């Protein structure tokens, strides 16, 4: 009986989450897909808590159990936000599959560098969208056509570089060979091209 009521409450939450997400992306402005989906999950949890506390059907749950359910739903919201809309929105892996499908199911391996540079970057407005996301995240500022790292951005870079160096695989399969290339992608030094702001 308790399991059925838990599943019923969770079904209400899930319906609300998907409905709020759909309405948000369909009719409202979205600055960053991930943050938007997180907000939708929080709203769905808040509305679900109203049903959880108001409907007699759920009186079987005590306050502690109801709070646990809300926490579970918040975690699920985060998992949903990062695993579905965010991954599909920004995943190069999905793009490769979609591009293969667009081109009839197969593409020469040697063509992928050109496709990524000449098609992916333009079709997904990759630079524009990533700059927009980082500005909205407070990690960079854009001023006088110059992009600069904020203190928050510097702290995130310190963490990511530390994590990359110490907690990413040192023997990762890349095109048939095991390599540590991605634990320090900048190991070959700074490009000789000067990209600094004037």
The 10s digit of each residue's pLDDT in 28-72 is: 999 999 999 999 999 999 999 999 999 899 889 999 999 999 999
The CA distance from 2 to 60, in Å, is 7
How many whole angstroms separate alpha carbon 145 and alpha carbon 139?
Answer: 16
Tens digits of per-residue pLDDT, 120-168?
999 999 999 999 999 999 999 999 989 999 999 999 999 999 999 999 8
Give 191's pLDDT tier (boundaries 50, 70, 90).
Answer: low
Contact 107, 115 (CB under 8 A): yes
Give one DSSP letter per residue of 141-190, joined into a string: EEETTEEEE-HHHHHHHHHHHHHHHHHS-SSEEETTEEE-GGG-TTTT--
- Residue extents of the structural domains in the chain: 2-89, 92-167
Tell whether the torsion through CA atoms of 162, 170, 116 and 37 is positive or negative: negative
Q: What global pTM score does this model have?
A: 0.80
DSSP per-residue string spanning 2-49? HHHHHHHHHHHHHHHHHHHHHHHHHHS--S-HHHHHHHHHHHHHHHHH
Enumerate residues 6+ apart whose C-beta is below 8 A from 9.
48, 51, 52, 58, 69
Which whole-number Å values give the CA distances from 117 to 53, 113, 120, 121, 189, in the listed order? 53, 6, 6, 6, 22
Quick one: average pLDDT of 84-111?
93
DSSP one-letter code for 189: -
- Ordered DSSP codes for 62-74: -HHHHHHHHHHHH
User: Confidence band (pLDDT; 50, 70, 90) for 196?
Assistant: confident
For residue 174, the cross-strand partners are: 177
């Amino acid at each position: 009986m308790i399991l059925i009521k838990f599943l019923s409450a969770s079904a209400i939450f899930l319906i609300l989450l998907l409905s709020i997400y759909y309405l948000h992306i369909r009719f409202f402005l979205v600055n960053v897909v991930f943050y938007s989906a997180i907000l939708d999950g929080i709203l769905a949890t808040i509305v679900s808590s109203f049903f959880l506390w108001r409907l007699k059907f759920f009186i079987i749950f005590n306050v502690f159990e109801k709070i646990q359910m809300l926490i579970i739903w918040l975690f699920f919201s985060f998992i949903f936000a990062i695993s579905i809309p965010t991954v599909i929105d920004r995943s190069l892996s999905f793009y490769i599959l979609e591009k293969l499908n667009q081109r009839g199911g197969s593409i020469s391996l040697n063509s992928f560098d050109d496709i990524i540079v000449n098609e992916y970057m333009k079709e997904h407005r990759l630079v524009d969208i990533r700059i927009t996301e980082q500005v909205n995240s407070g990690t960079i500022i854009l001023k006088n056509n110059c992009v600069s790292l904020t203190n928050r951005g510097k702290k995130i870079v310190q963490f990511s570089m530390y994590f990359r160096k110490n907690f990413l695989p040192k023997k990762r399969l890349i095109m048939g060979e095991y390599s540590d290339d991605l634990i320090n992608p900048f190991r070959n030094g700074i490009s000789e091209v000067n990209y600094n702001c004037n």
